[in-house]
Amino acid sequence: MAEVKELVKELVDKYGRERKNLLPVLQGIHLETNYLSKEAMLEVAKQMDLSAAEIYGTASFYSFLDTKADGKYKIRVCKSITCEMAGKSEIIRTLEDMLKVKVGETTEGKRFSLLETNCLGLCDQGPAMLINEEFYTQLTPAKVRKILGEYIRNKY
Amino acid sequence: MSNIKLRKVDVIFSPYSVAPYEILKNAMKRSKDEVVQELIDSGLRGRGGAGFPTGLKWKFAKQQESDQKYVICNADEGEPGTFKDRKLLVEVPRKVISGMAICAWAVGASKGYIYLRREYRYLVSHIEEELELYHKFAKEAGLDFKIEIFMGAGAYICGEETALIESMEGRRGEPRNKPPFPIKNGYLGKPTVVNNVETFASATMVCRMGADEYKKLGTDDQRGSKLFSISGDSPKKGVHELELGMSLEDFANEFGDGDTKAVQVGGVAGFCIPKKQFKTTIIGEGNTTGGSTMIFNSTRSMYNVLHNYLDFFAEESCGQCTPCRVGTQQLLKGIEAVKSKKKPPEYLDQLVKLAETMRLTSKCGLGQSVTNSFSSIVKNFREEMIY
Ligand SMILES: Cc1cc2nc3c(=O)[nH]c(=O)nc-3n(C[C@H](O)[C@H](O)[C@H](O)COP(=O)(O)O)c2cc1C
Ligand code: SF4
Ligand code: FES
């Protein structure tokens, strides 16, 4: 709790207390804590002098401001049309098998959240996905196993 | 309707020809009215989808009396099948930033933002490097215009300019009623020019080439060159720069795989054109100009295609107005019901009427344009919806 309070204060000092800085503040929290907890949103409400409902209403509008999926690595697989045509379902199946979770769920230990998303702007190289900020294209089940294997081995 | 042969050109992605920000510097030697007039004369229209004449937008913004004006580059690029803005920001960010600065100088804005979709966060450091160079130049040139990146947070609707502004003000990205337009009442209530990434890059090229030279490209209705994001069943997927005014037939011959059955022009907000209409369709005329072109060959189920689009719309509708919030879900359930024989084929006609009603009663372009792809697919591929 104390930590969240500090973090919010730091961000509010950096960006400013006005409403127009709400998104940068929420994104700053998200980057540090992997999602927006209820405590964090309440703290923002207090420090930016807004109602908690306003904060939640705003945050829940945006798909990259997670209020539930709290995995450290968020895997977002594109489900828009050309990626679907290129074989997105197989990619999802492979990921579900490896992670033992369904789309929308987070693995035990909160390492990975598996999500679907709309067009990532990589349609000429589909199927495509993001893992946090990194993008991966022209996916095949074998390629996904390799990529994810590396995350599992090295990156946490 | 006039059309020209398909021709690849190299305007927008042409290499930087001069020292950094030389085009901006040269523009600043002229009168502001002259530069705005050059843009008007070039015939350049917005490349974000709506196709509003860019020079006119700048002229209106210039006429506004205000202590503060803003210039916003719309890099929200969320239309499925579009990726040209990403490529522009990777390869020729200087042209985009120059265009923003020329605009700001001409209309009298001192603050600018690049609204970058969250999915493109990996581009931030690259763009910031270029911004550093630009700010150095601006300081030397005595140009009082600073640019910052504003990160989106994942919402297709935030590409709509008033939703974008709402989002920058720290709220849900729900579109506002228009008028007032952003050039009158935009970010923080101040006059604001919102243009697409490609529009700014093209404006820079108009200044470099001159309106007369630029105008030689394209047809009377559509001037200049345009980036097309090509995906789907194509051996030449990617971004291609083409002169405007070609027929869809030429296009499909060049970029299709020989078995093309339909092309979605203008993203899911645009139209799905079946093969029999390729000859009479000019890309960009009456269909949106965003440049997303998705190619479908004969192995594709148009039911699956439409289902995917409707899923997208239902998910991305901001939910603010009933026709769009409920309509998108009803259309989705409706085609499922026809497919599973719970409803008779005639039900499709009712759905088309519903989509048309959404055009008339929805608040913003999202709800208004659902009927474009819905009706064009249901009418042209009716059997595929039923069987
Ligand atoms: C649902 C919806 C989504 C939009 N998405 C974008 C977008 O991602 N990028 C963009 O430049 N314009 C988008 N637009 C159009 C903008 O509202 C606006 O017209 C445009 O940014 C103006 O710039 P331009 O005149 O240079 O095209 C969208 C419009 C609607 C209705
Ligand atoms: S038409 Fe749809 S997206 Fe647009 S304001 Fe209404 S509900 Fe929101
Ligand atoms: S459709 Fe998947 S990245 Fe565009």
CB B81 within 8 A of CB A81: yes
- The type of residue at B290 is G
Q: Can you tell me the mean pLDDT for A78-107?
A: 97
Where is pLDDT greater, at A113 or B3?
A: A113
Nearest CA among B90, B108, B95, B107 for reference residue B134: B95
pTM above 0.95, yes or no: yes
Any idea of the CA torsion for A125, A130, A136, A140, to the nearest 10 degrees? -80
Fold of the domain spanning A73-154: Glutaredoxin (3.40.30)
Q: Is B302-386 a domain of CATH 3.40.50.300?
A: no
Q: Do A124 and B122 touch (CB under 8 A)?
A: no
Alpha-carbon torsion B309, B299, B6, B240, what sign? positive
Closest Cα in chain A to B166: A20
The answer, yes or no, to whether residue A129 has pLDDT greater than 80, is yes
pLDDT of residue A74: 96
Closest chain A residue by Cα to residue B152:
A23
- Which of B132, B68, B66, B134 shows the shortest CA–CA distance to B99? B134
CB contact under 8 A, B231 and A124: yes
pLDDT of residue B252: 97
A134·B316 Cβ contact <8 A: no
What's the whole-number mean pLDDT along residues B144-166? Answer: 98
**CATH architecture entry for B20-214:** 3-Layer(aba) Sandwich (3.40)
* B77-81, B157-161, B279-283, B356-360: range with lowest mean pLDDT: B279-283
Contacts with B363 (C-beta within 8 Å, 6 or more apart), sequence order: B175, B177, B320, B321, B324
Task: Work out the pLDDT band at B232, boundaries 50, 70, 90.
Answer: very high
Check residue B204 and give its pLDDT: 97
Q: Is residue B286 scored above 80 in pLDDT?
A: no
Contact A75, A91 (CB under 8 A): no
**Cβ B107 under 6 angstroms from ligand 1:** no
Among protein residues, the one with the nearest Cα to ligand 2's atom 4 is B364
Distance from CA of A15 to the nearest CA of B (A): 12
In Å, how far is B37's CA from the nearest CA of chain A? Answer: 34
B78: which 2 tokens?
């969320």
Joined together, the tokens standing for residue A1 give 């709790």
Q: How far apart are CA B176 and CA B170, in angstroms?
A: 14
- Nearest Cα residue in chain B from A21: B170
Q: Please state the domain extents for chain B.
A: 20-214, 302-386
Which whole number is the average pLDDT over A122-137?
A: 97
Whole-number percent of chain B with pLDDT over 90 = 91
List the Cα angle A42/A46/A52 in 5-degree steps: 45
B46 interface with A at CB cutoff 8 Å: no
* CA atoms within 13 Å, Cβ hemisphere of B180: 15
B198 pocket-lining for ligand 1 (C-beta < 6 Å): no
| B288: pLDDT strictly greater than 70 | no
Cβ of B316 within 8 Å of Cβ of A118? The answer is yes
pLDDT at A156 over 60: no
Å between B324 CA and nearest CA of chain A: 16
Residue A147 CA to ligand 3 center (angstroms) comes to 19
Residue B10's identity, in one-letter code, is D
Residues in chain A whose beta carbon is closer than 8 A to a beta carbon of chain B?
Answer: 18-24, 26-27, 57-58, 61-65, 79-82, 84-85, 117-126, 130, 133-135
Q: What ipTM describes this predicted complex?
A: 0.96
Q: Is the model's pLDDT at B321 over the cut of 70?
A: yes
B260 forms beta bridges with B297
Q: Whose CA is nearest to atom 17 of ligand 1?
A: B160
Of B216-225, B260-269, B366-375, the least confident? B216-225
Cα distance from N-terminal residue to C-terminal residue, chain A: 24
Contact call for A20 and B173, based on CB within 8 A? no
Give residue A1's pLDDT: 57
pLDDT digits (tens, 9 = 90+) for A44-68: 999 999 999 999 999 999 999 999 8
Handedness of CA B16, B7, B279, B224 (dihedral sign): positive
Which percentage of chain B shows pLDDT scores above 70?
Answer: 98
Domain residues of chain A, as ranges? 2-61, 73-154
Residue B304 forms contact with A (CB below 8 Å): yes
Q: Which atom of ligand 2 is nearest to the CA of B328?
A: 2
Question: In this model, does residue B49 exceed pLDDT 90?
Answer: no
CA B240 to mean position of chain CA atoms: 15
Query: What residues of A are in contact with residue B238 (Cβ under 8 Å)?
Result: 124
Q: What is the predicted pLDDT for the residue at B1?
A: 53
B96-126: pLDDT as tens digits: 999 999 999 999 999 999 999 999 999 999 9
What's the confidence (pLDDT) of residue A68?
86
On whether the CB atoms of residues B64 and B191 are closer than 8 A, the answer is yes
Kindly tell me if the per-residue pLDDT of A94 is higher than 70: yes
When scoring B118, B295, B305 by the number of chain A Cβ atoms within 10 A, the one with the most, hence best to mutate, is B118
B228 in A contact zone (CB under 8 Å): no
Q: How many helices (H) and strands (E) does chain A have?
A: 7, 4
Whole-number pLDDT of residue B2? 64
Query: Which residues from A are below 8 Å from B85, CB to CB?
Result: 121
Is residue B3 over pLDDT 90? Answer: no
